[in-house]
Structure 1
Amino acid sequence: MSEQTGTGGLNEYIQHHLQQYAIDFGGGTFHVDTWVVSLFCGLVFIGWFGFYARKATSGVPSKGQAFVEMAMEFVDNQVKDNFHGDRSSITPLAITIFMWVVLMNGMDLLPLDTPGVAIQAVAGADVAAHTFFRWVPTADLNTTAAMSVVVFFLILYHSLKAKGGFGFGKELLTSPFAAENPVTRAVLMPANLGLNIIEYCVKPVSLAMRLFGNMYGGELVFMLIAGLLGGGLLMFVPGVIFNLAWAIFHILIVLLQAFIFMILSVVYIAGAYESH
């Protein structure tokens, strides 16, 4: 959620909050805010689930243990429905993706101006006005692209594991257009290779862009609603109502986008074990 506190108008407010806290690193730009919040969310997940895993009892579970067990069972059932093999490494991957993305997406429900208010209280308004910090790691394409690249390499790993180097290479060259005639098969090899490369590359791109687009759009809506909150007393009440309504709806987006990213990752990995 957001609350407009800037004095330069909605345009300047949005531009300010779309800026990353970035530093030059290794010839490129490193987004410190994305890394810090992503790490924080990851540690929260590890600590949260690790705590209840160690404290798990066979009797009547506590509410916290019950929630963790429900989340694990839900994800495991999804994996079971989509991956018909050894799930010992796939289910932990899926629950990590789901909960980590939920936590990162959920940062969008926190007030955008919290970092600025905190910095202003400590260092003054001038410093706060020139300090950038974005709450939502998944609204940064670097985050979603990095996660998607990891999934891409996992797809390649499982493809090689299931079919071997020769089998995987043969599939790239001989499907989807198969031919019995050796000459025809050789002619079709470049087309098959090109189509397979496109298919493999589209998977991480679609994963990254879908999650990024939805979270970036949701963030922008909160910023636009902030314009109502900063538009005087007449617009304050409608702004609060719109902000609350969008926040409630956005909870569904937070959960749905995490689910989609998780389930597509599992489906893509499961597809590595199937032949064209």
Structure 2
Amino acid sequence: MAASGEPLTSQGYIQHHLQNFQVCTKDGSLYWGNCSDVGFWSLNVDTLIWSIGLGIFFLWLFRSVGKKATSGVPGKLQCFVEMLVEFVDGNVKDTFHGRNKLIAPLGLTIFVWVFLMNLMDLVPVDLVPRLVAEGTVAAGGANDIHEVYHKIVPTTDLNLTFALALGVFALMIFYSVKVKSPLGFLKELTLHPFSSKNMFVQTLLIPVNFLIESITLLAKPVSLGLRLFGNLYAGELIFILIALLYSAGVVLGTLGGVLQLGWAIFHILVITLQAFIFMVLTIVYLSMAHEDH
């Protein structure tokens, strides 16, 4: 990173905006800022703040709409919430083949929460870091925006997307064991996809089946987390690249404004689609966990 007051290079600007605001321990004391040289044991504070904050906002909004809901002519917000609930409920009925009252609320929570986190990608990349920098200057902290690390899109953080995927994975294992019994789940891992009526041959196939089924099982949360992260990370990177054009003169700056508007409009589809895919795959995986062969 450039020294205080010096402009960043294009490469430095990109790297700066892809770095989370972290807290870690350095030399026995608490350190805030860039902890990339510390290793695994650091917390991405901005990811935690925005993801938890948006989750609380979602709960507050839907609870307030539910408390004010009327059987008469509904308001626009109530109509919107009812449309979301019916949309998710329809997808659950079409996709989930078991009986579980948790699935529909879980699907609604995942869709709205992931959508809200993805929606932060439409906020200009320099806006929040600049506001944070001005606040820290007033408090006697950082001197300019280049000393402030802050990412407001939680789903561009691999830690967050994998945390969501691991939560889904834990539910998959829990319901697989609950519905099929521990022995039934073990049979599913060892007696499929290859089977034989010959006991000796079947015994030889158990390690092969277990390897294949284990890889298939573990691939689900990995692909779930990576898909969401990859799409949002790429989208954020494109916004950062477009933002570089603003410092390249009037012509390129004007082009950057047009490109940013066009990409933002297109990105609305991307962020909605990614939230929908994460929700649907969660429902599908949990439906498979409820299937007792």
Structure-2 separation of matches of 1:123 and 1:177: 62
Is the counterpart of residue 256 in structure 1 residue 273 in structure 2?
yes
What secondary structure does 1:272 align onto? helix
For residue 23 of structure 2, what is the amino acid of its counterpart?
I
List runs of 5+ in structure 2 lacking aligned partners. 1-5, 31-39
Is the counterpart of residue 181 in structure 1 residue 198 in structure 2?
yes
- The Cα offsets for residues 110-138 of structure 1, whole Å up to 9 and x where unpaired, read as 11112222133233362532220001100
CA contact (8 A) 1:108 1:219 kept: yes
Structure-2 separation of matches of 1:246 and 1:71: 25
Q: Which residue of 2 aligns with 1:199?
A: 216
What secondary structure does 1:24 align onto? strand
CA contact (8 A) 1:83 1:266 kept: yes
- The Cα offsets for residues 79-125 of structure 1, whole Å up to 9 and x where unpaired, read as 11000222411000000000000000000001111222213323336
Q: 1:90 aligns with which of 96, 103, 125?
A: 103
- Give runs of ≥4 in structure 1 deviating > 6 Å: none
For residue 142 of structure 1, what is the amino acid of its counterpart?
N
Greater relative contact order, per chain length (Cα 8 Å cut-off, separation 6+): 1
Structure-1 separation of matches of 2:170 and 2:74: 38
Q: Which structure 2 residues correspond to residues 26-41 of structure 1 after superposition, within 5 A? A: 28-41=41-54
Choose 125-134 or 9-18, whichever is displaced more: 125-134
Structure-2 separation of matches of 1:164 and 1:132: 48
Q: Which structure 2 residues correspond to residues 108-257 of structure 1 after superposition, within 5 A? A: 108-124=121-137, 126-257=143-274
- The Cα offsets for residues 174-200 of structure 1, whole Å up to 9 and x where unpaired, read as 111111111111111111111111011
Q: Which residue of 1 aligns with 2:88?
A: 75
C-alpha deviation, 1:21, in angstroms:
0.5
Aligned CA RMSD, in angstroms, stands at: 1.6
For residue 86 of structure 1, what is the amino acid of its counterpart?
R
Structure-1 separation of matches of 2:9 and 2:252: 15
Structure-2 separation of matches of 1:264 and 1:148: 10
Structure-1 separation of matches of 2:136 and 2:201: 72
Is the counterpart of residue 63 in structure 1 residue 76 in structure 2?
yes
TM-score (norm 1): 0.94
For residue 227 of structure 2, what is the amino acid of its counterpart?
R
Q: Which residue of 2 aligns with 1:273?
A: 290
CA contact (8 A) 2:98 2:291 kept: no
Q: Which residue of 2 aligns with 1:10?
A: 10
Q: Which residue of 1 aligns with 2:37?
A: none
Structure-2 separation of matches of 1:122 and 1:22: 17
For residue 93 of structure 2, what is the amino acid of its counterpart?
K
Q: Which residue of 2 aligns with 1:102?
A: 115
Identity of aligned residues (%): 45
Structure-2 separation of matches of 1:101 and 1:168: 30
CA contact (8 A) 2:191 2:209 kept: yes
C-alpha deviation, 1:275, in angstroms:
5.1
CA contact (8 A) 1:151 1:265 kept: yes
List runs of 5+ in structure 1 lacking aligned partners. 1-5
Choose 234-243 or 25-34, whichever is displaced more: 25-34
